[in-house]
Chain A
Amino acid sequence: MKGRTKLPLFIVTTILILVLISFGQQRYPAATLGLMREGYSWVVRIADAPLDFISGLWNNYIYLINARQENAVLRAKVRTLEVGTMAFNEVRAENTRLRAMLGFKKAYPDLPLVPAEVIGQDISLVFKTLVLDKGLTEGFFKDMPVIKPGGLVGRVIAITPHSAQVLLITDVNSAVPAVIESSRVKGIVKGRGDGSLSLEYVKSDENVKAGDLVVSSGLGGIFPRGITIGSVRSIRRPPHKMFAEILLKPGVEIGQIEEVFGIGRDVAYLR
């Protein structure tokens, strides 16, 4: 392309992109993006299918034949045990996670919980979103609260038939109406982007101390009341400011999320 056409192209592109960004400020759901995520969820399913097939073939057929051949089993025993130990550790960790989730579901039998697995994370270091393997078909919906046994994870911001994008509470765009459980002081929990949270709009003279549990207040209509968000890590009361600077530790380890629950519709109270 000749140099004299590049400059107009540069200018036109810049204008187009600025228009795109201005649309983005209003967060219009882009159908094309949903299609991408939907397609991606199928790619992951298709990529998993041969692995599942090979694993099934091994576990249900080849391994059983080998089991009958005693000599071969004995020769392979040490190696199998070594591999088995590694696999066992993974299964044990998964078992612990799933038991915690099962216990959580039993603790709230009336709560419509929909389980999902994480199949992807945000491509950038700055923004904090997850992609789940469940979507509209499985009962997920836009603005659905997403939790783990430890507490609140985030909410669904985009949805397709078989995938959902979740905005984590630690993202800088996230805001959750909250209340300190013991003192009932209200505020807004915001993500800081660094894995921690801040509780905003709490007056400096309010009764807040480190270790206080912060739960969702139910205001705003998105998150049910009473979901654990985190605990107060530190408080600073600058002398010339109206509001205290309160930092929270999230209730869930955000970097280690593999399975989550979506909370179904019409749930006003968790406890």
Chain B
Amino acid sequence: MWRIYGSLCALLLGAILVEVTVIPAFWSNLRVDLFLGLVIGLAVYGPFSHGFIFVALATLPLQAFTGARFGYLPFAYVMAFFLLDVMKGLIFLENIVVQCLLGFFLNLVIVEAATLFVRMDVLREGWLPLLAGAGCTAAATPLMAYAVKRIWAGYEA
């Protein structure tokens, strides 16, 4: 069990490094949510209890790299995880296209939800970074989900 949590933590650290330092170095306004792919991967391929615990705990290091009020990120991602768990019984979430669409729309939903806390219109900054970020998140989501699947398969083997 520690091995799988260790691998997931390494994946999380890599995602943070890319989100916080690498991507803003290329385009200051671009934000790609790699963690969302991890959440989707955990919801689809992992058992509920482990996925839930990891998602809840992993939002804490993420919170250190945002000016968002303490509690917002756990709220957003845990709710996304519960939503995905419900959807798992209704839609075939292992499909790559479905994962891309989920990545795209959940990214937009999470960004828009954040604006409720600060009462601002994120589109005022321009729709291009928002859509580009959602598009990149959509592209990265199946990759992150696949990484989680491989980690979980390796653990079960």
Q: Is the CB of B114 within 8 A of A21?
A: no
Option from A20, A25, A165, A172 in Cβ contact (under 8 Å) with B120: A172
Closest to B13 in A: A43
- Chain A 127-165 near chain B by CB (<8 Å), digits 1 or 0: 111010000000000000000000000000100000001
Q: How far is the CA of A36 from the CA of B66 in the complex (A)?
A: 12
With an 8 Å Cβ cutoff, the count of chain A residues facing the other chain is 51
Residues in B neighbouring A43, C-beta threshold 8 A: 13, 17
Q: Is the CB of A131 within 8 A of B20?
A: yes
Q: How far is the CA of A121 from the CA of B125 in the complex (A)?
A: 17
Q: Is the CB of A21 within 8 A of B65?
A: no
With an 8 Å Cβ cutoff, the count of chain B residues facing the other chain is 48
Q: Is the CB of B66 within 8 A of A20?
A: no
**Which of the candidate stretches B44-52, B96-104, B140-148, B149-157 sits at the interface with the other chain?**
B44-52
Asked if A40 meets B67 with Cβ closer than 8 Å, knowing A13-B78, A120-B21, A123-B19, the reply is no
Residues in A neighbouring B16, C-beta threshold 8 A: 40, 123
Residues in B neighbouring A6, C-beta threshold 8 A: 48, 82, 85
Number of A-B residue pairs having CB atoms within 8 Å of each other in the complex: 143
Closest to B110 in A: A124
Asked if A193 meets B61 with Cβ closer than 8 Å, knowing A21-B72, A24-B71, the reply is no
Tell me the A residues contacting B by CB distance below 8 Å.
1, 6, 9-10, 13, 17-25, 27-28, 30, 32-37, 40, 43-44, 47, 119-129, 131, 157, 165, 167, 171-173, 192-195, 255-256
Additional A-B contacts beyond A24-B69, A125-B130, A193-B118 (17; CB < 8 A): A17-B74, A23-B70, A24-B71, A43-B13, A124-B66, A124-B111, A125-B114, A126-B122, A127-B114, A129-B66, A165-B67, A172-B118, A172-B119, A193-B120, A194-B121, A194-B126, A256-B28
Tell me the B residues contacting A by CB distance below 8 Å.
13, 16-17, 19-21, 24, 28-29, 31, 33, 47-49, 52, 56, 60-72, 74-75, 78, 82, 85, 111, 114-115, 118-122, 124-126, 129-130, 133
